[in-house]
Amino acid sequence: MAETLPNISVNVDPTNPGQFFACCGLLELADRLWPGAEGWFAEDGLSFQIHSPTHTLDALINAIAFASLRHIDPSDPYSSPIEIGEPFQPLTIDWWTHAFLGAKDLKVWAGTMESFGIARALQHALRRLDFQSPDLFNIGIVVMNPDDIAKKKEPFYFDSRRSPNAHSIDVGFSANDLGVTSTAHPAVELLCLIGLQTARPAGTKEKRIYEYYPWSLPLPASLILPAATGMFRNKSTKAYRFENWFRTGQKKHKAFRSAIPINPHRD
């Protein structure tokens, strides 16, 4: 059997759960643009690779940045589902609205934070050409509101690099409570939101504590849910555990914290 070789590769920090699920989102969208795309993590866990012959990362990121984005329920600016359309096969992002999906508790935004407004601002940020790079997860900027470029948009807080700066325990004040705006990583935030629609972490006995499992064999997008939850784990599988952490004193807004490696064969 011929070895499957990647033609798209992005750099990944495997201890950042936002980046892990952003990779899942990237594969999901690649498959919806180019049916049959396969993805996997490199053995060292430091890159995510996609096999889709003749296609490029530049083309994929450009398609994401300019895709149709529809506000499904304009009467609900805060929690409305979102539809991603052309040039992709349509995908509804609504995992936070259905308890049966097992993902509702992963929602990190609350209050006046707008699901569609944030997603649209993150998408517009990806139109910068420097995001067409294998290092797109590490490009940090202040995200602006595309309807008023003088105003800023805070991200969802899926990127674990933000969580240590969000809570008073760590910095002496809550950045969220004071309305402080800081650098965000748009590719991580938007693609993680998308990735959680089809790939979710495995729950544990502890509330708001989750696990995920990078896989090292080429898999189609249809199998990323069982792969991410460890159903395909073997002797070489790595595993990580993280907390969806309260980042404000009101215990409404959350943030994904950095993950720690665990023994995937402890059971």
- Spatial separation of the C-alpha atoms in residues 223 and 38, rounded to whole Å: 10
- Selected residue with higher pLDDT from 99 and 40: 40
Residue 184 main-chain phi, psi, to 5 deg: -125, 165
Give the pLDDT confidence of 178-232 residue by residue, as tens digits: 445 579 999 999 999 999 999 999 999 999 999 999 999 999 999 999 999 999 9
Confirm whether pTM is higher than 0.85: yes
- Spatial separation of the C-alpha atoms in residues 25 and 129, rounded to whole Å: 20
Residue 230, by phi and psi: left (phi above 0), alpha (psi -120 to 50) or beta? left
- Spatial separation of the C-alpha atoms in residues 51 and 54, rounded to whole Å: 9
Question: Where do the structural domains in the chain lie, given as residue ranges?
Answer: 8-262
Give the pLDDT confidence of 219-234 residue by residue, as tens digits: 999 999 999 999 998 8
pLDDT of 172 above 70: no
